[in-house]
């Protein structure tokens, strides 16, 4: 009898417990990570075709998890934000979610505005995974304010194929339902840092949803003459330096000094008020859920 009771108890322990069942988000993340493992190294066109099917399956899961989103002026249906599941591609590792985008022009190349919609659970899981080098990507701060002030956050979450340079904080007001709204003036570049930012990046975090908005600036913010002068002075010193190594370091110092100056003086820069108005017009209509 004791043996039978012990056997029955063991069998009960082996049964799945309803309270421990994987959530839809956990199931999605497990499926995504399984596909990343399978397609980490692409060997043929056939592998790419299979990966596209995997992305479509993940998109179906995201639609169930996130639900429908109505954004005025945007397409009715978003598409999966992930570009690829192979670590060998530049577009690897983007924030999990559905992207709604308005094309820059009739060519369909590039976006004027894009909104990535995700859940708080998926956002937190993505950020937590980047506490250390996640598949080679740089670690990110785990505290939200620090993360959102990081150039690397926007590169890894929204634009892995180009560097992101933050020029200044964009003072925006959060919706009544949101816990946080944070905006920056930025530039995506694979080359030099220009005189003015070209876009805004905004993150709005609620209890259930997170939105990541990227938009081309409707009007220029800056340039700021005083900051240009600082950079020019460092450039002149670099040009006069005989050592190429020292010249490179001086130019890098000049870029940092320029950006520090821009961040400090941006509140009084020409065009900032228009940028804040543009940003707020994007934030205010975002639905709570």
Q: Are 217 and 197 in contact (CB under 8 A)?
A: yes
Q: Note down pLDDT in tens along the chain; length 289 residues.
A: 444 333 333 333 333 444 567 899 999 999 999 999 999 888 788 888 999 999 999 999 999 999 999 999 999 999 999 999 999 888 899 999 999 999 987 665 678 999 999 999 999 999 999 999 998 899 999 999 999 999 999 999 998 778 899 999 999 999 999 999 999 999 998 888 999 999 999 999 999 999 999 999 999 999 999 999 999 999 999 999 888 999 999 999 999 999 999 999 999 999 999 999 999 999 999 999 8
């Amino acid at each position: 009898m004791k043996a039978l009771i012990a056997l029955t108890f063991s069998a009960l322990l082996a049964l799945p417990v309803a309270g421990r069942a994987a959530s839809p988000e956990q199931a999605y993340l497990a499926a995504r990570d399984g596909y990343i493992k399978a397609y980490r190294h692409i060997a043929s066109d056939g592998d790419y075709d299979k990966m596209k099917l995997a992305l479509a399956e993940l998109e179906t899961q995201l639609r169930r998890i996130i639900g429908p989103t109505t954004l005025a002026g945007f397409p009715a249906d978003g598409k999966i934000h992930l570009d690829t599941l192979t670590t060998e591609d530049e577009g690897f590792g983007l924030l999990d979610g559905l992207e709604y985008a308005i094309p820059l022009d009739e060519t369909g190349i590039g976006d004027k505005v894009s909104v990535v919609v995700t859940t708080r659970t998926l956002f937190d899981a993505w950020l937590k995974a980047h506490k250390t080098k996640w598949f080679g990507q740089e670690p990110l701060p785990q505290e939200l304010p620090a993360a959102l002030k990081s150039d690397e956050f926007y590169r890894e979450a929204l634009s892995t194929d180009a560097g992101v340079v933050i020029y200044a904080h964009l003072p925006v007001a959060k919706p009544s339902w949101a816990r946080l709204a944070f905006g920056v003036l930025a530039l995506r570049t694979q080359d030099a840092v220009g005189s003015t930012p070209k876009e805004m990046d905004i993150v709005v975090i609620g209890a259930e949803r997170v939105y990541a908005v990227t938009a081309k600036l409707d009007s220029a913010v800056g340039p700021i003459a005083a900051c240009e002068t600082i950079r020019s002075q460092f450039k002149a010193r670099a040009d006069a330096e005989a050592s190429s190594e020292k010249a490179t370091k001086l130019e890098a110092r000049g870029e940092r000094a320029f950006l520090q100056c821009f961040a400090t003086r941006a509140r009084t820069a020409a065009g900032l008020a228009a940028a804040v108005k543009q940003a707020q017009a994007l934030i205010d209509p975002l639905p709570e859920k």
